[in-house]
Structure 1
Amino acid sequence: MSSLQCLLLLGTASLLQAACPNVPVFAEFDPEKFSGVWYWTEWYDNGWISQQIPNIMSCVTSNFTMTETGNFSVELKWDNLLTEQQWTATGRLVQQATPNHFEASFPISFMIPNGQFYIIDGVHRTWAVVYTCREILFGMSQIQTAWILHRNPNGRRQRNALAKRWELKPGLKVFIDADKFRRFNDTEACSTLD
Structure 2
Amino acid sequence: MAVHPLSVLVFLVAISMGTAMIYDTFFTRRDGPCPTIPALPNFNVSRYVGYWYESRRFPFPFQYGTKCTKNRYFPRDDGGMNLIYYRDLIWPSNVQLRTKVKLMQTTPGTFEAYAKIAGRYVYMGTYSVIIPGYDSPTFTYSCRDIGFGLGSIEAGWVMKRATTGLTAGEETELQSAATALNINYSQFQPADQSGCIV
Match of 2:10 in 1: none
Q: 1:32–1:66: 8 Å Cα contact kept in structure 2?
A: yes
Over 3 Å counting, the alpha-carbon distance change for 1:27 and 1:37 in structure 2 is same
Residues in 2 aligned to 1:86 and 1:142: alpha-carbon distance in whole angstroms = 30
Match status 1:38 vs 2:52: yes
Residues in 1 aligned to 2:158 and 2:197: alpha-carbon distance in whole angstroms = 18
Q: Determine what percentage of the aligned residue pairs are the same residue.
A: 20
SS at 1:163's partner residue?
A: helix
The alignment of Structure 1 onto Structure 2 pairs a total of residues equal to 172
Residues in 2 aligned to 1:20 and 1:36: alpha-carbon distance in whole angstroms = 28
Match of 1:182 in 2: 189
Q: 1:63–1:75: 8 Å Cα contact kept in structure 2?
A: yes
Q: Which has the larger radius of gyration?
A: 2
1:133 Cα deviation after fit: 0.5
Match of 2:137 in 1: 127
Q: 2:137–2:160: 8 Å Cα contact kept in structure 1?
A: yes
Residues in 1 aligned to 2:57 and 2:62: alpha-carbon distance in whole angstroms = 8
Over 3 Å counting, the alpha-carbon distance change for 1:54 and 1:160 in structure 2 is farther
Q: 1:40–1:147: 8 Å Cα contact kept in structure 2?
A: yes
1:90 Cα deviation after fit: 0.8
SS at 2:46's partner residue?
A: helix
1:67-93, CA deviations, whole angstroms, 9 ceiling, x for partnerless residues?
111111111111122342211111200
Residues in 2 aligned to 1:172 and 1:113: alpha-carbon distance in whole angstroms = 27
Match of 2:156 in 1: 146
TM-score (norm 2): 0.72
SS at 2:126's partner residue?
A: strand
Q: 1:160–1:179: 8 Å Cα contact kept in structure 2?
A: no
Structure 1 stretches lacking a partner, 5+ long: 1-5, 45-49
1:34 Cα deviation after fit: 0.6
Over 3 Å counting, the alpha-carbon distance change for 1:66 and 1:36 in structure 2 is same
1:99 pairs with 103, 108, 125, which one? Answer: 108
Cα RMSD over matched residues?
Answer: 3.1
Q: 2:39–2:109: 8 Å Cα contact kept in structure 1?
A: yes
Residues in 1 aligned to 2:146 and 2:54: alpha-carbon distance in whole angstroms = 25
1:177 Cα deviation after fit: 3.4
Q: Which structure 2 residues correspond to residues 1-194 of structure 1 after superposition, within 5 A?
A: 10=24, 12-14=28-30, 16-17=31-32, 19-44=33-58, 50=59, 55-84=64-93, 85-96=95-106, 98-108=107-117, 114-136=124-146, 140-154=150-164, 156-157=165-166, 161-164=170-173, 167=176, 172-184=179-191, 186-190=192-196, 192=198
1:40 Cα deviation after fit: 1.2
SS at 1:123's partner residue?
A: coil
Residues in 1 aligned to 2:175 and 2:190: alpha-carbon distance in whole angstroms = 19
1:21-69, CA deviations, whole angstroms, 9 ceiling, x for partnerless residues?
101223442111110111112113xxxxx26577421011111101111
Residues in 2 aligned to 1:190 and 1:159: alpha-carbon distance in whole angstroms = 25
Residues in 1 aligned to 2:168 and 2:141: alpha-carbon distance in whole angstroms = 15
